[in-house]
Amino acid sequence: MENVAADSALNAGAGGAPDSGASLDSGNVAPAMPTPEQLGISVTAGPADGMPVITVGDTFEFPVTVSWSVQGSALLVVPAGSANAKGLTQVGLSQESSRSVKDGKEIASITFTYKIAAQDTGNLHIPAMRFEIPTQMGQPIDLRSESVDIRVEEPFNPLPIAVGAVVALCVLFAGLWRAKRRAAAREAVATKNAAQEALRERMMVLKQRVNVADSREWLLELESIAKEFVFEKFGADVGSGKDGGSGLNSGKDGGSGLNSGKDGAGGSAAGFESAAAVNLDALVKEGRLEGWETIVEEFAHARYGGGKRDGFENRETWKAAMRLMGIEE
């Protein structure tokens, strides 16, 4: 509709219109109020790019713009409502006027910016904003915007995530630690079983020689197996040096160490050479090899005396050694 029609509608009854008394006397009816669409007035609500997600407790801005096409005229637009709704409270209102040219026509607009506090979470609704444009006819033109839906979220709390991450790391490290312990335990058991099996194989070979081998050689071989067993059982806590002092494979000067050299410096603990330095006599005297007294005496007799032994005696000594070392045939 032409602007002239809008101006005439807004100014109707000013100066040239008959008074109400005359209208009633003559039977004339007052003209109907034009609609905003007929006057070229439009109302848009909300940001151009849509409403963002709001966090509860935030105060956000909600613009409503009233626009119309004019030729030098201006309209008085009066807000007639508020943005208060469930979970939303209006805390401020400002307005700004502007003019622009579109398709060769001048467009005037007033933007009302509502400041709204979000006080609840969930899907909330900004109500339709109502405005009035006063006219000289006494009845204002009523304008309404569309209601707008918004989403209000709880504020982000990093604490649960941080706690969850810490718990997850603790569980991960605990799992790795347990897995490492299990692997170490399995490795230790495997090593022990392998050593036990090696001793068993040597004992089974020795059993086959009870009747044919030289008794002194046979007993010294059994002593070396016993030393290997004690070395595996007690580790680096047993052994002796040249002077008979307690220790494992000590040096010439009696200093304790594991497979030490001539000066007592530490060396490798692996293999028969380390076990060979174990002093069974000293361990028996210290009470660390309970039940070994008789066999250790036989070992000493073989080293320093020797002599012939019956195969039956070797067999009984072999059985006693198997029992003391916990080896099953």
Choosing from 153, 187, 212, the residue where a domain stops is 153
Is residue 191 in some structural domain?
no
Lowest-confidence segment of 23-27, 56-60, 125-129, 152-156 by average pLDDT:
23-27
Choosing from 99, 123, 153, the residue where a domain stops is 153
Most confidently predicted of 31-35, 124-128, 233-237, 283-287:
124-128
What does the pLDDT average to over 13-27?
A: 42
Q: What is the model's pLDDT at position 158?
A: 81
Non-local (6+) Cβ contacts of 1 within 8 A are 34, 38, 39, 40
Q: How far apart are CA 264 and CA 252, in angstroms?
A: 6
Q: What is the mean pLDDT of the chain?
A: 78
Is residue 182 in some structural domain?
no
Residues 199-216 have pLDDT tens digits of: 889 988 888 887 766 788
- Judgement on whether residues 209 and 124 belong to the same structural domain of the protein: no
Q: What range does the domain containing 290 cover? A: 197-238+278-325
Q: What is the model's pLDDT at position 55?
A: 92
Q: What is the model's pLDDT at position 265?
A: 34
Q: Which of 132, 324, 144 is nearest to 222 (CA)?
A: 324
- Judgement on whether residues 13 and 132 belong to the same structural domain of the protein: yes
Q: What is the model's pLDDT at position 278?
A: 86
Choosing from 96, 119, 153, the residue where a domain stops is 153
Give the confidence band of 71 by pLDDT, cuts at 50, 70, 90. low
Is the pTM higher than 0.75? no
- Report the domain count for the chain: 2
Give the confidence band of 124 by pLDDT, cuts at 50, 70, 90. very high
